[in-house]
Amino acid sequence: MTYFISALDPENNFETYKSYYSNTDYFEQGFFGDKIHDDIYKLNFDELRYNFEEDDPETQDVDETELIETRLTPRIRIPLDASFFQTKVIDQEGQSVLKNADNFARHLKGIIIQTDGFSDDLYMLLDINQSIIKMTYSYDFYNAESNADSKIEKASRTTTINLGTKINTLKNSNFDAAITQELQNDLNGVSSERIYLDGSGLHATINLFNNSDEEATLLEELREKEWLINEANLIFYVDQSKYSNTDSLIADRVFLYNFKDKMPLSDFYLDNTTNSSSKNGDKSIYGGFLEYDENNLPYRYKFKITDHINRVVRKDSTNVELGLVVNSHVANISNLNAKTSELENILYPTAAILNPFGIVLHGSESKDNEANKLELEVFYTEF
């Protein structure tokens, strides 16, 4: 890479971290130099195991070289061009570029990783924050205690290069006409027949009780009746015309949150359930899991938002706009800086962009399936 990615923002006197957005492709802009690897790589999902290099003489009945010293999770290990690092790093001995980390970051600005030509569809979440470059080099070592004629010996050392700021570039293909029209309706304030969600930024916003005069009147009636609300559920039904019972590339969980302040609803915090047997199974009462019908077709997602509705009805809380996104880890409630298609700066749930799958749901104005349009279900006790 030939473009310097600064960790700090020069436009704010280097006092804050600089934000980078995934729609910038530095490779397409020509900020690249040497190619340090270009070959076919086959994924290996086996654990990496390394035995002890030396046998302990004090344990005569055990050969340590046959015992495992280190276990590493499956990972991609790419051999890079050694001559590049010889020139870029080793040959810079004594130069200012190796004086400190800041100088080195400007000298070795980074690497660009691109992949293509997959034999099968590939869905993979790389832990880029754990990525490193390992470099093993040899050097002359002066051994003062050596009895040989020459006290200069060869030695080797392995060091790691940690590249500071890491960014992803995401490319989205153009949406078909139906999706484009739904998105345009949303921008124009028209309620949607369909809701499209995916990990590339497609999300939905939901307004309870205030989309029309009729709904606003309903809220006032609820407040006047002084019902005891025992349970309230918000249910999103899957557009089953888009799927079969063999489809697997479907988001297995979605997340409902306060779109205004980008934080979970009160029901999320009240739910302390955990599920160690599932990767994303916590907060099971709050919900958001994909449910299947009797024909094994994807059916619906259901959220229990009893406390939120109670607060709205009692006027203890504002009737805020809700957001809906796909979800990869319900416990991750952090947000990232994002830009909308109109280049407006917003915060966006981190867990949403780590889920490569999507889903098509019926909206609040689904005309071809009235029974399955977006539904608020309330159980109450009337005095």
Contact 351, 274 (CB under 8 A): no
Report the mean per-residue pLDDT for the chain: 88
Same domain, 113 and 213: no
Number of domains composing the chain? 2
Domain C-terminal end among 104, 131, 158? 131
Is the domain of 261 the same as that of 113?
Answer: no
- Claim to verify: residue 311 and residue 196 sit in the same structural domain: yes
Are 254 and 301 a contacting pair, CB within 8 Å?
A: yes
Instruction: Please check whether residues 29 and 103 belong to one and the same domain.
Output: yes
Contact 152, 141 (CB under 8 A): yes
List of residues 6+ apart from 172 with CB closer than 8 A: 200, 201
pTM, two decimals, is: 0.78
pLDDT digits over 193-246, tens only?
889 999 888 899 998 887 666 666 788 888 888 788 999 999 999 999 888 877
Pair 224, 335 in one domain: yes
Phi, psi of 218 (to 5 degrees): -60, -45
Residue 72 has pLDDT above 80, yes or no: yes
**Whole-angstrom distance, CA of residue 368 vs CA of residue 362:** 10
Mean pLDDT over residues 82-105, rounded?
93
Position 162 scores a pLDDT of: 81
Q: Which of 64-68, 200-204, 210-214, 342-346 has the lowest mean pLDDT?
A: 210-214
Q: Are residues 341 and 192 in the same domain?
A: yes
Check whether residue 219 and residue 294 sit in a common domain: yes
Rounded distance, CA 262 to CA 346, Å? 9
Is residue 49 pLDDT above 70, yes or no?
yes
* Domain identity same for 229 and 363: yes
Q: Higher confidence at residue 84 or residue 151?
A: 84
pLDDT score, position 211 = 60
Q: Is residue 164 part of a domain?
A: no
Domain that holds residue 371: 177-381
Same domain, 347 and 249: yes
Among residues 96, 115, 131, the one where a domain terminates is: 131
Do 106 and 195 belong together in one domain?
no
pLDDT of residue 215: 67
Query: Does residue 146 lie in a domain region?
Result: no
Contact partners, residue 301, CB within 8 Å, separation at least 6: 235, 236, 238, 253, 254, 287, 288, 289, 290, 291, 359, 361
Q: Are residues 260 and 200 in the same domain?
A: yes
Residue 1 lies in a domain: no
- With 90 as the cut, is the pLDDT of residue 165 above it? no
The residue from 131, 159, 186 where one domain ends is: 131
Residue 193 lies in a domain: yes
**Over the stretch 117-136, which tens digit does the pLDDT of each residue have?**
888 877 777 788 888 899 99
In a shared domain, residues 91 and 192: no
What is the per-residue pLDDT for 149?
77
Residue scoring higher pLDDT (101 or 366): 101
Residue-level pLDDT at 270: 97
